[in-house]
DNA sequence: CGTCCGCTTGACTCAGATCAAACTTGGTGG
DNA sequence: CCACCAAGTTTGATCTGAGTCAAGCGGACG
């Protein structure tokens, strides 16, 4: 279930806002009235540590849901901010709840989305536990290619990929070069082929 | 909603198995009939990388759900294994689906659990992006203490805590000692107080 | 009483972060 | 069509701090 579908499904219980500047969506302690969907741009959840420094808890990108936990809480636990140039859908908490109550198929689809999230996040955490940049990249790519496939076309940029798997972009580019030299991958722009070693010789 | 409650709620659609040895719960490609709840011990999800090495995608502990994504898929995408000494609940896919369909409150509670998971996983990922062990620990503790509180009683062991935030236990102990010397925390066994610096002097 | 496991400290290593700089690439607008 | 700008890509040099291996302590538990 895409964010857009969710907005359509909710009808009057959803509205979309466009922000040219960074804008606060909610503050910690505010009563929860909405969860959010990022249609364009980015948003982030922030909390202040005990020592007063800002801690970013989550960066949401295009297509992500944002502050889902608000559905099940009376007050927000963090500060939420939309970054400049974002389009954000406000999804009414009550609207979502009543849909979930009345429409089993909707509830199921919503759970599906969350379950998928959980799965991806968990594997991402384990991925980041791989210390070696080379191995982490191979593992990340292996998770993304379909069964039996060897080719993978990167959706975004390599720089973005680096961030997704928790590497600096420099480290990523260097590792890619090493992997190519070792014939573990073969790359052309944003397309990559795995396992040249086994297939080639 | 705890795993035990889920088992009770499902009635005949759930059963519990106890394993004395490591046991395969399902293999990649098997048709999905169950998701699982870990009542005792551990289980893990594994996949094989393109190069043939084993990649652990998820380690589930006591109280965790396991392979939730199976609810929304025809076949398992990974191998699932229960470790020796585990008690694992088999939760029928059909059972969960029909409950979700018929009982809005159940669907809601299930979503709540997943949403909470998502939130914790996301913040955990951001947490692990903090390079400095000292700062990561402060941030992790800050997320765990209640608002206004300064004290935190560790649920498990420090070693376990180290693992949860992605540090070696040695690095954790050294960092704790540094933080104590700098009066940023005050520790007694598994109880810790944050922000001594500001409060003390 | 012995064993396991969490805790603690020391010494060493190294791979990835960081800072810096150059080069592509793509798109915008005049 | 070209000037220009922003962002991604690439490479180099340096450094730091967390991982790792090793070893000793102490409490819990059978």
Alpha-carbon radius of gyration of chain A: 20
CB A169 within 8 A of CB A162: yes
Question: Distance of alpha carbon B91 from its chain centroid, rounded?
Answer: 18
| Residue A21 scores a pLDDT above 90 | no
A167 touches strand C (CB under 7 A): yes
Rounded mean pLDDT of B57-81? 95
| Residue A201 scores a pLDDT above 60 | no
* Residues in CB range of A31: below 8 A, 6 or more apart: A74, A75
CB A39 within 8 A of CB A87: yes
Q: Which residues of B touch A111 (CB under 8 A)?
A: 71-72, 100, 107, 110-111, 114
- Candidates B77, B57, B68; CA nearest to A125 is B57
pLDDT at A198: 52
| Residue A45 scores a pLDDT above 70 | yes
Which site among B38, B95, B122, B197 would you substitute to test the A interface, given the most A Cβ atoms closer than 10 Å to its Cβ? B122
Structural domains present in chain B: 3-123 (2.60.120.10), 131-200 (1.10.10.10)
Residue B178 contacts A where some CB pair is shorter than 8 Å: no
> Residue B90 — pLDDT band, cuts 50, 70, 90?
very high
According to DSSP, residue A148 is labeled T
> Percent of chain A beyond pLDDT 70?
98
Query: B118-160 pLDDT, tens per residue?
Result: 999 999 999 999 999 999 999 999 999 987 789 999 999 999 9
Least reliable range by pLDDT among A93-107, B32-46, B66-80, B184-198: B184-198
Average pLDDT of chain B?
93
Q: Which nucleotide is nearest to B154 (CA to C1')?
A: C6
> Residue A148 — pLDDT band, cuts 50, 70, 90?
confident
* Helix orientation angle between A133-144 and A104-128, rounded to the nearest 10 degrees: 160
| Residue A20 scores a pLDDT above 90 | no
The DSSP element (H or E) to which B10 belongs, if any, is helix B3-10
In angstroms, the first-to-last Cα distance of chain B is 44
Least reliable range by pLDDT among A25-39, A50-64, B171-185: A50-64
| Residue A136 scores a pLDDT above 80 | yes
Query: A178-190 pLDDT, tens per residue?
Result: 999 999 999 999 9
């Amino acid at each position: 279930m895409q964010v857009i579908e969710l907005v359509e499904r909710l009808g009057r219980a959803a509205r979309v806002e466009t922000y040219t500047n960074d804008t606060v969506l909610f503050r910690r302690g505010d009563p929860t009235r909405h969860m959010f969907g990022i249609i364009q741009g980015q948003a982030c959840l922030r909390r202040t540590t005990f020592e007063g420094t800002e801690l970013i808890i989550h960066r949401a990108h295009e297509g992500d849901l944002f502050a889902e936990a608000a559905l099940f809480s009376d007050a927000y636990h963090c500060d939420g901010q939309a970054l400049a140039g974002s389009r954000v859908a406000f999804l009414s908490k009550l609207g979502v709840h009543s849909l979930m109550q009345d429409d089993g198929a909707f509830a199921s689809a919503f759970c599906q989305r969350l379950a998928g999230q959980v799965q991806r996040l968990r594997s991402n955490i384990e991925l980041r536990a791989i210390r070696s940049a080379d191995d982490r990249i191979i593992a990340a790519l292996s998770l993304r290619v379909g069964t039996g496939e060897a080719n993978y076309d990167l959706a975004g940029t390599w720089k973005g990929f680096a961030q997704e798997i928790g590497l600096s972009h420099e480290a990523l580019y260097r590792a890619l070069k090493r992997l190519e030299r070792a014939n573990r991958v073969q790359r052309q722009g944003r397309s990559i082929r795995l396992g040249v070693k086994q297939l080639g010789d």
